[in-house]
Amino acid sequence: MDKVIKQLSDMQIGKLLEQEPLANHTTMKIGGPADLFIEPSSVENLEKALKVIKENDLPWRAIGRGSNLLVSDEGIAGVVLKLGKGLDHLEINGTEVMAGAGVSLVNLSVQISKKGYAGLEFASGIPGSVGGSVYMNAGAHGSDMSAVLKEAHVLFEDGTLAWLSKEEMEFSYRTSLLQKKKPGIVLEAIFQLKEGDRSEIVERMQNNKNYRKDTQPYNLPCAGSIFRNPLPNHAGELVEEAGLKGHSIGGAQISPMHGNFIVNTGHGCAADVQALIQHVKDTVYSKFKIELETEVEIIGRQL
């Protein structure tokens, strides 16, 4: 690893940290260290970093703002690539918007609304970034990324680059081609929006924000929705009907506000969260014969 670190350092690709706790980079504030943590300063430097990683046969994965992630207490072997400040470029050309992977969805939706462009109101409360949100087809309030995406610029594991259309991304509920078939990193995304009435757009966003504030735990670290909705049922309702709202294991608690959120009450660890997830799955299946699947991605070394 020392050889790789020196090589990357000499290339001045961006921030390099050894044994960096991932708790510092996830919205749940949980996660052990990454052997090597890299925050590339540009798309080009990300490409260079991945090339070096592949040449040295190191395991790697990319993260954004760390929402929808549960990192194990043992951390992550190999390299973590954070798509952050170096990939937060934004170009607004009328109703067509190009955003780098590191752009905050909340900030993007606010900027777009101020210009009177409609389509991203649903994203105003999603605490993720563009890259991760396109990767997993994030959504809320009856819409998702597939409704507004035109093209995604993707860097595949083998180092090749491609612009993929919405159709080529093969979106479905909270997933895409990049999860199902061909792993890759979303570098940039082009969104096709529509002109609308600015006051109406702002009102819809405010209503969405108020709904989230009233029904979801904003005051404690969490990863967003833990389970996929087993449609036509909703995971949160099943959890609540199973009598699990507020149930705790260690420092992890099913939010008293919403059954599909697990919060870190201050001293939670990944083991607590995983135990609570399994307890929920077992209880819901026992009561309703419905198998819940996690929406949150669980990564890292496992005991």
Which residues are marked as active site? 174, 225, 295
What is d(CA 184, CA 165) in angstroms, rounded to the nearest whole number? 15
Structure-token pair, residue 261: 């959120």
Structure-token pair, residue 61: 């994965």
Structure-token pair, residue 136: 């997993």
DSSP code at position 171: -
Please give the torsion angle defined by the CA atoms of residues 213, 219, 221 and 225, in that order, rounded to the nearest 10 degrees. -20
227: nearest Cα among 261, 251, 263: 261
DSSP code at position 85: G
What is d(CA 91, CA 245) in angstroms, rounded to the nearest whole number? 43
* Identity at 264, one-letter amino acid code: N
Judged by DSSP in three states, 202 sits in helix
129: nearest Cα among 66, 180, 79, 61: 66
Please give the torsion angle defined by the CA atoms of residues 41, 132, 22 and 235, in that order, rounded to the nearest 10 degrees. 170
Structure-token pair, residue 118: 């409609």
80: nearest Cα among 30, 6, 18: 18
